[in-house]
Amino acid sequence: MAIFKRDEGSKSAPTISTASLPDVVYMMLFFFMISSTMREVTVMVENGMPDARTVTKLEKKSLVSNIYIGRPKAEFVGMYGSEPRIQLNDKFATLNDITSFVIAEQEARSEEDRNSITNNLKVDMDTKMGIVTDLKQELRRANSLRVSYAARKKV
């Protein structure tokens, strides 16, 4: 069986081919590109989500508009205080900004999607209900009635 016999002496141990390594990495790369979404806003408030058993997934990402509520993070406490604040997009907001935010979110979607926008309320679990209630009243006033209280699935 001469074919299996190595021509010893002329070569040292064979090098492992790394030619397929890029392919493997590309596969991972494409997986992550497809399965992930870009992080759009930097969250400037504390955001510890509560746990719940009966969570439903928000199906269409493009129809979700995020509203964050919580205490400002440590680096913003000097400027915005430590009371829970509302964050819309990239800046802190007050209750008066909600209506214009809702309208802006509706403008950004196509006509037929405007009534199916879901407001995803990402509220820190240490927040008191007062500010959340105010926000809900404001959303009702702006006639944007679909809300989802963000929560993690309890296992």
Partner 1 sequence: MSKKSVPEINASSQADIAFLLLIFFLVAASMDTDSGIFRRLPPMPPEDVVVNPPKYAKRNILQVLVNKNDMLAVNGEIMDISMLKDKALEFILNPQNKPDLPAKDIKEVPFFGRVEVSKGIVSLQSDRGTSYKMYIAVQDELAAAFNEARDIKSMEQWGKKYDELDPEQQDAVRKVVPTAISEAEPKNIGGTK
Site of interaction with partner 1 (CB under 8 A): 18-19, 21-22, 25-26, 28-29, 32-33, 35-39, 50, 52-58, 61, 64, 118, 120-121, 123-130, 132-134, 136-137, 139-141, 143, 145-153
DSSP state, residue 153: E
- How far apart are alpha carbons 82 and 75 in whole angstroms? 11
Name every residue whose Cβ is closer than 8 Å to that of residue 42 and which is 6 or more positions away in sequence.
90
Taking the complex as a whole, the smallest distance from the CB of residue 67 to partner 1 amounts, in Å, to 12
Question: 25 or 104: whose CB is closer to partner 1?
Answer: 25
Give the β-pairing of 64-70 and 51-52. Answer: unpaired
Question: 28 or 103: whose CB is closer to partner 1?
Answer: 28
Taking the complex as a whole, the smallest distance from the CB of residue 38 to partner 1 amounts, in Å, to 6
Give the β-pairing of 64-70 and 85-88. Answer: antiparallel
Taking the complex as a whole, the smallest distance from the CB of residue 11 to partner 1 amounts, in Å, to 12
- How far apart are alpha carbons 70 and 43 in whole angstroms? 10
Question: 86 or 150: whose CB is closer to partner 1?
Answer: 150
Taking the complex as a whole, the smallest distance from the CB of residue 66 to partner 1 amounts, in Å, to 8
Q: Which of 113, 80, 85 is nearest to 97 (CA)?
A: 85
Question: 25 or 108: whose CB is closer to partner 1?
Answer: 25
